[in-house]
Structure 1
Amino acid sequence: MTTSNTHLTDTTTSAELDALASAGALRPIGAPAGGGPIADEDELRAILGGRPNLGSAHATGAGASARRQVRLPEHLNAALDDYAAAHSTTPSAVIRDALTAYLNAA
């Protein structure tokens, strides 16, 4: 069994990927929760799907998270990173919480 995915490219087709998977020629990149085989396509999408959006059941109800970009002075950016690390969260979560608190107080 090949243990490298170096033969994959951006142009690898679904059929080629299926053939490689059937031949056992793909290196696993992770395991499903609890180990064992992946139950269905939904579980596979959950493993490989990337970062979840805040949309459909959360922020916008539209299925996609709105994205805003802001520029921060270096000292504020460093303070944000330090705060997020100290509280085991992400800078994005801190910004969302702070903005929610600010707008609710207004």
Structure 2
Amino acid sequence: MEHLSPEAVAAFVDGELSDCACHRARVHLVHCPECRAEIHHQRGASEWLRGSNTTDEVRAPSDLLARLTGIATTPIHPGPDAESMPYQRPEGLLDKFEVLMRAVKRNQTQRSD
């Protein structure tokens, strides 16, 4: 079984996946306890990080916060298709067959639209 990449886990927790990619991740999570555990750990880390910034003694420097905020406004550079879910490459014959069946199904769905 292919697992969600660390980047996909973080994007899922942060709500940054497209609707289609989020749906695929949710379907995967129904069947994969390992990825569900990763999501749980990522959410815990995210909540801990947000909760740790509560006093002046542990505040992030303002220039760091400005740079992080600026990430959302910087231009997007060309990269992989945003609609595709980052997965590991298929290794075995069954993995390759599953990828092939998904492609056929996706092709049939696109033709019927």
TM-score bucket (shorter structure)? under 0.3
TM-score (norm 2): 0.22
Q: Which has the higher helix share?
A: 2
Instruction: Indicate the structure whose relative CO is greater, using CA pairs within 8 Å and at least 6 residues apart.
Output: 2
Instruction: Report the structure number with the largest CA radius of gyration.
Output: 1
TM-score (norm 1): 0.23
